[in-house]
């Protein structure tokens, strides 16, 4: 049996988890305070059992201070951050895991912690496969590991003239990517970093497809497949990376792997029809596992979600079910071409015979021969087949003509592009024909072609103007006039593209309704009023950018910088004169005339833009055409406030009507934040709490003027039984808040306590062994507390006690504070210009901070009672340390 307690100090709340028998018993308090740490702590049993205790603790220590102990033993500090001193275990032989965690070096190195046999067996098998593939074993010359990694095996390879590549089988301690291959190359990936990636072997975030075609291969099978890819791929780092993305999700190695790496297609001939979101299709697939059309769409959706390995699985199943003709097989051929080009050629041949993709299949074969096998003569033959019957795509015609140009066969290239334009009047073909004419010495004809390219597709202007192959034309007046020509044709062109994106039946959407605009923006402001605001001046929005009514509303109320996952545009938050407006002639199809409103946090390259003429809202992403999002800005803003599950209401005087409708809200599901209410409004609020207080789990009330909300005599336990967080400013309360059975956090600022003279928490036992309270935080700030004693007893769950008292509020405060046998108490912080006596009684096992400051006019004394000699010495050190700290600051 594994018995280990883990204690994490997380800002204002201590989070405690106990690892026993592979299960995690997590205290419910503090979940929202700890955020992502909750996932790490819940994954603790699995990470430790897999041998990733070191990386797992590194990730927690990166965020906050961490303690461990054997169940019932003394707490041992692991510190916070790399290199921090750890408290060593007194008897390291008793528990090897505990001894390894508390060893005074950082991080915990490979091989020092107990590990499950399965990951090590998989690592050994993988390393053997890699050695057979030409990689050599790496002997680690140091015992020091790397932060966040437990290396189980490592290999490397070096080809003459090619940067060295290394690959290691690692445990990360991260529940999202717990077991992975770390692949590195000394070649530069970007201008500032080298290739350093994690290949996910567990696929925990992959969509769960039906069981008859399992997506989540066992880690060993996925590792073996990755080994085959690494052994068979050309030594170039980018080729290797492309191949690895077809095996599993590949993440850049960071502390926060969030989005798989996506390698852009280098082959332009693959049909890629639009697909619904991946989650939606997978849900439908669960009920229809033999629907080949759904599997086919799953492949395209997975590609859009950057999951190429899922794409491969879905297309394999679609091929087995006979869906899509040769299309799914053709995609699988492309996915394999980087690490097995001959297989790609064979699969393309079969796809061509299955129908529907003959031209695309010959195009891929030409691409493989030209780009991978370096056989341009054979490639030309396949290009001719791809375009012979006129069915070739624009990409096939371009690649055919481009290869002829590279081989100085200009006349043949001109013939190919001319014939292509008869089939596809595309701006790209006009651009290439202009280049071919220039290479043939036909300057005027070349200018005619590039001008026609911009008439057809004005968004290509920057590509054409910056094309170094057209450098001989740059000083010609007609060439210098190309931007003006593109702008002339841009408006109608981009509007036509966007019109084709509207949902069926929507031709000319209505302008933003003024009332809807006001309601949406004001609701948005109320919902996110605690976020850092930015003032939106009318001049920053730009004339014609947004409907005039909405512009006035935005300028009046402003916007928060961050609205959930949506971030307001840089131009608004930094005070530029106008929103970024996409020029008609220098952006992807459909972007011209749009103005950016902001971007999404999870994908900063996915923006939100508004059409200044119609008011429609679109999503812009990378170099793709936009996608339709909403008919107007008001509708888009309203979607940001949609409530699901838990409800959050921010009530201002103009929003009191929301209190009249509580339909659809379950008990303990409402978070209520109140601001700016006068005396009459507050009376209405108290009436609401008496009638519907059971709906609340969080109540935050801000002060208005110099008046107080009087809650003395209001029984929060009776009226708000599910309340867990109570944060009041400028209110009067009584002792009922300290006896609330569910309340976990209580904060009072500039308020008044008027009740029993002795405030008691955890001083008597109920049937559950507690006193009926779950309070973990008590905080007073500038409050008048009319009490003589504050006593926190041995049955309390209190973690953090804080009191900050300015001299203007020092007329009343308990003169005696006692903490007796509090098992969970971690921090005492008192900064008050008054007089008090602090008593620490008995065993306080988790106490780590005692800070007291009474300057300039107050004084305090500290006493230790009924404590062991060891505890007494520790308490006195904490008291002295806290006093010295406050004096220093």
| DSSP state letter for 146 | B
How far is Cα 550 from Cα 512, in angstroms, rounded to an integer?
7
Whether residue 307 has pLDDT greater than 50: yes
Tokens of 115: 């590990």
Buried b / exposed e over 110-124, threshold 16 CB at 10 Å, is bbbbebeeebbebbe
401-405, 491-495, 643-647, 704-708: which has the highest mean pLDDT? 401-405
Looking at per-residue pLDDT, the higher value among 507 and 859 belongs to 859
The Cα 796–Cα 798 span in angstroms is 6
When pLDDT is cut at 50, 70 and 90, the band that residue 622 belongs to is low
Label residue 184 left, alpha or beta by phi (over 0 means left) and psi (-120 to 50 means alpha): beta
β pairing state of 179-188 and 617-621:
unpaired
Pick the most confident of 204-208, 293-297, 389-393.
293-297
Distance separating alpha carbons of residues 9 and 777, to the nearest angstrom: 13
pLDDT given for residue 888 in this prediction? 43
Average pLDDT of span 304-308: 80
**43-47, 390-394, 747-751: which has the minimum mean pLDDT?**
390-394
Q: How confident is the model at residue 25 (pLDDT cuts 50, 70, 90)?
A: very low
Residue 476 has pLDDT above 90, yes or no: yes
Comparing 147-156, 479-488, 582-591, 715-724, the range with the smallest average pLDDT is: 582-591
Please give the residue that has the higher pLDDT: either 153 or 235. 153
* pLDDT tens figures, 761-799: 887 554 444 444 788 899 998 888 999 999 998 888 888
Share of the chain above pLDDT 70, in %: 74
Of 225-229, 315-319, 571-575, 629-633, give the lowest mean pLDDT range: 571-575
Q: Please state the rounded mean pLDDT for residues 156-167.
A: 82
SS3 state of residue 38: helix
Of 410, 417, 398, residue with least CA distance to 442: 410
Q: What is the mean pLDDT of residues 22-39?
A: 48
Q: How is 322-386 classified by DSSP, letter by letter?
A: T-STTHHHHHHHHHHTTT-HHHHHHHHHHHHHHSS-HHHHHHHHHHIIIIIS--HHHHHHHHHHH
Residue 389: C-alpha distances to residues 392, 413, 454, 477 (Å): 8, 17, 28, 40
Answer yes or no: is pLDDT of 247 > 60: yes
Side-chain-side CA neighbours of residue 110 (13 Å): 21
Could you read off the pLDDT of 446-466 as tens digits, one per residue?
Answer: 999 999 999 998 888 888 998
Using a pLDDT cut of 90, give the percent of the chain over it: 21
Whole-number pLDDT of residue 810? 60
Of the given ranges (107-116, 192-201, 304-313, 594-603), which has the lowest mean pLDDT?
107-116
pLDDT higher at 870 or 87:
870
**293 pLDDT above the threshold of 60:** yes
493: confidence class by pLDDT, cuts 50, 70, 90: confident
Coil, strand or helix: which one is 428? Answer: helix
Q: Residue range 563-575: average pLDDT?
A: 66
pLDDT at 108 exceeding the cut of 80: no
Measuring CA to CA, which residue among 48, 54, 60 is closest to residue 1? Answer: 48
pLDDT given for residue 258 in this prediction:
58
Whole-number pLDDT of residue 109? 42
Is residue 16 very low, low, confident or very high in pLDDT (cuts 50, 70, 90)? very low
User: What is the model's pLDDT at position 17?
Assistant: 46
Q: How high is the pLDDT of residue 82?
A: 56
Give bridge partners of residue 627 from the DSSP assignment. Answer: 619
pLDDT attached to residue 161? 72
140 DSSP 8-state letter: P
pLDDT band, residue 197 (cuts 50/70/90):
confident
Average pLDDT on 230-247 reads: 75
pLDDT for 644 equals 43
Residue in this structure with the two tokens 């054997």, named with its chain if needed: 70
Whether residue 608 is predicted with pLDDT greater than 50 in this model: the reply is yes
SS3 424: coil
Secondary structure of residue 277 in the 3-state scheme: coil
> Which are the contacts of 367, defined by CB distance < 8 A and separation ≥ 6?
266, 267, 269, 337, 379, 399
Token pair, residue 868, equals 């062991």
Which residue pairs from 229-232 have beta carbons closer than 8 angstroms and sit at least 24 positions apart in sequence? Answer: 229/339, 230/130, 230/133, 230/135, 230/167, 230/183, 231/129, 231/130, 231/132, 231/133, 231/134, 231/135, 232/133, 232/339, 232/340
**Alpha-carbon span 685 to 659, nearest angstrom:** 8
**Residue 534 scores a pLDDT above 50:** yes
Question: If you average pLDDT over residues 292-321, what whole number do you get?
Answer: 88
Please name the residue that has the structure tokens 């036909």.
442
Q: How far apart are CA 637 and CA 618, in angstroms?
A: 13
Return mean pLDDT, the chain.
78
Three-class SS state of 67: strand
27: confidence class by pLDDT, cuts 50, 70, 90: very low
> How confident is the model at residue 213, as a pLDDT?
44
Predicted confidence band of residue 295 (pLDDT cuts 50, 70, 90): very high
pTM, 2 dp: 0.62
What does the alpha-carbon distance between residue 463 and residue 1 come to, in Å, rounded to a whole number? 66
- 346 confidence band (pLDDT: 50, 70, 90): very high
* pLDDT value at 505 more than 80: no
Mean pLDDT, residues 184-191 taken together: 72
Six-digit token pair at 246? 């077809």
User: Which helix or strand (DSSP H or E) is residue 719 part of?
Assistant: helix 716-719
CA-CA-CA-CA torsion sign (464, 467, 471, 474)? positive
Distance between CA atoms of residues 647 and 644, nearest Å: 7
Task: Give dist(CA 797, CA 818) in Å, integer.
Answer: 15
Q: What is the mean pLDDT of residues 128-152?
A: 77
String of DSSP letters for 186-220: EEESSSS-EEEEEEESS-TTS----TTS-SS--HH
Confidence category of residue 89, pLDDT binned at 50, 70, 90 = low
Place of tokens 């060593």: 88
């Amino acid at each position: 049996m594994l018995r280990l307690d883990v204690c994490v100090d997380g800002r204002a709340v201590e989070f405690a988890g106990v690892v026993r028998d592979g299960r995690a018993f997590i205290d419910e308090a503090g979940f929202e305070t700890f955020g992502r740490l909750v996932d790490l702590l819940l994954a603790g049993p699995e990470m430790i059992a897999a041998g990733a205790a070191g990386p797992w603790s590194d990730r927690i220590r990166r965020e906050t201070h961490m303690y461990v102990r054997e169940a019932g033993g003394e707490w041992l500090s692991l510190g916070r951050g790399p290199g921090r001193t750890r408290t060593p275990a007194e008897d390291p032989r008793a528990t090897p895991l505990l001894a390894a965690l508390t060893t005074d070096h950082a991080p915990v190195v490979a091989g020092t912690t107990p590990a499950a046999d399965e990951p090590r067996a998989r690592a050994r098998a993988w390393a053997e496969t890699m050695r057979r593939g030409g990689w050599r074993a790496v002997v680690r010359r140091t015992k020091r590991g790397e932060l966040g990694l437990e290396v189980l095996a490592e290999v490397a390879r070096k080809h003459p003239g090619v940067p060295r590549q290394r690959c290691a089988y690692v445990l990360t301690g991260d529940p999202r990517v717990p077991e992975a291959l770390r692949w590195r190359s000394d070649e530069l990936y970007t201008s500032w970093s080298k290739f350093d990636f994690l290949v996910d072997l567990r696929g925990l975030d992959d969509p769960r497809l039906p069981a008859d075609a399992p997506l989540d291969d066992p880690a060993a099978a996925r590792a073996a497949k990755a080994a085959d890819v690494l052994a068979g791929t050309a030594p170039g780092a980018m080729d290797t990376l492309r191949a690895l993305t077809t095996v599993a999700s590949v993440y850049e190695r960071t502390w926060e792997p969030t989005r798989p790496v996506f390698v852009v297609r280098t082959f332009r001939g693959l049909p890629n029809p639009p697909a619904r979101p991946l989650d939606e299709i997978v849900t439908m697939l669960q009920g229809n596992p033999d629907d080949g059309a759904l599997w086919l769409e799953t492949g395209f959706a997975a590609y859009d979600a950057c999951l190429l390995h899922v794409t491969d699985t879905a297309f394999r199943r679609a091929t087995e079910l006979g869906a899509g003709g040769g299309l799914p097989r053709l995609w699988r051929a492309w996915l394999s071409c980087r690490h097995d080009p001959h297989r790609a050629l064979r699969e393309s041949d079969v796809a061509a015979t299955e129908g529907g993709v003959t031209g695309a299949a010959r195009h891929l074969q030409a691409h493989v021969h030209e780009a991978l096998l370096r056989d341009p003569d054979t490639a030309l033959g396949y290009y001719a087949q791809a375009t012979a019957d006129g069915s070739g795509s624009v990409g096939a015609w371009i690649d055919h003509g481009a290869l002829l140009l590279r081989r100085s066969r200009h006349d043949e290239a001109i013939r190919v592009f001319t014939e292509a334009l008869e089939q596809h009047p595309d701006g790209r073909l006009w651009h290439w024909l202009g280049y071919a004419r220039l290479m043939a010495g036909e300057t005027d004809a070349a200018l005619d072609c590039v001008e026609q390219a911009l008439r057809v597709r004005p968004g290509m202007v920057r590509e054409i103007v910056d094309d170094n192959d057209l450098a001989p034309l740059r000083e010609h007046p007609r060439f210098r006039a190309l931007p003006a020509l593109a702008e002339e044709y841009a408006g109608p062109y981009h509007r036509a593209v966007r019109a084709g994106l509207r949902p069926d039946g929507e031709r000319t959407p209505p302008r933003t309704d003024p009332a809807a605009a006001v309601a949406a923006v004001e609701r948005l402001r109320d919902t996110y009023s605690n976020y850092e605001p930015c003032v939106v001046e009318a001049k920053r929005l730009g004339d014609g950018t947004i409907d005039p009514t909405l512009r006035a509303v935005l300028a009046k109320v402003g916007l928060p910088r961050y609205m959930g996952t949506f971030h307001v545009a840089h131009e608004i938050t930094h005070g530029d004169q106008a929103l970024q407006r996409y020029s008609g002639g220098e952006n992807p199809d459909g972007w011209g005339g749009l103005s950016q409103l902001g971007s999404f946090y999870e994908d900063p390259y996915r923006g939100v833009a508004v059409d200044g003429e119609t008011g429609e809202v679109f999503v812009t992403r990378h170099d793709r055409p936009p996608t339709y999002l909403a008919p107007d800005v008001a509708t888009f803003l309203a979607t940001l406030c949609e409530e699901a599950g838990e409800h959050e209401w921010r009530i201002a005087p103009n929003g009191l009507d929301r209190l009249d409708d509580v339909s659809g809200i379950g008990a303990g599901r409402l978070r209520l934040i109140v601001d700016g209410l006068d005396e009459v409004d507050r009376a209405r609020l108290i009436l609401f709490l008496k009638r519907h207080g059971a709906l609340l789990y969080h109540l935050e009330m801000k002060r208005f003027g110099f008046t107080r909300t009087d809650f003395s005599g209001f029984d929060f336990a009776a009226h708000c039984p599910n309340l867990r967080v109570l944060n009041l400013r400028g209110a009067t309360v009584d002792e009922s808040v300290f006896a609330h059975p569910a309340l976990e956090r209580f904060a009072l600022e500039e308020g008044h306590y008027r009740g029993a003279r002795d405030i008691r928490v955890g001083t008597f036992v109920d049937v559950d062994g507690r006193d009926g309270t779950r309070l973990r935080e008590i905080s007073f700030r500038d409050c008048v507390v009319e009490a003589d004693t504050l006593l926190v007893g041995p049955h309390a769950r209190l973690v953090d006690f804080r009191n900050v008292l300015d001299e203007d509020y020092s007329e009343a405060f308990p003169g005696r504070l006692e903490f007796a046998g509090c098992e969970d108490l971690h921090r005492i912080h008192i900064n008050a210009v008054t007089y008090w006596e602090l008593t620490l009684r008995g065993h306080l096992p988790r106490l780590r901070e005692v800070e007291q400051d009474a300057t300039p006019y107050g004084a305090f004394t500290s006493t230790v009672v009924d404590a062991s000699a060891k505890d007494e010495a520790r308490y006195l050190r904490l008291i002295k340390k806290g006093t010295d700290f406050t004096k220093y600051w």
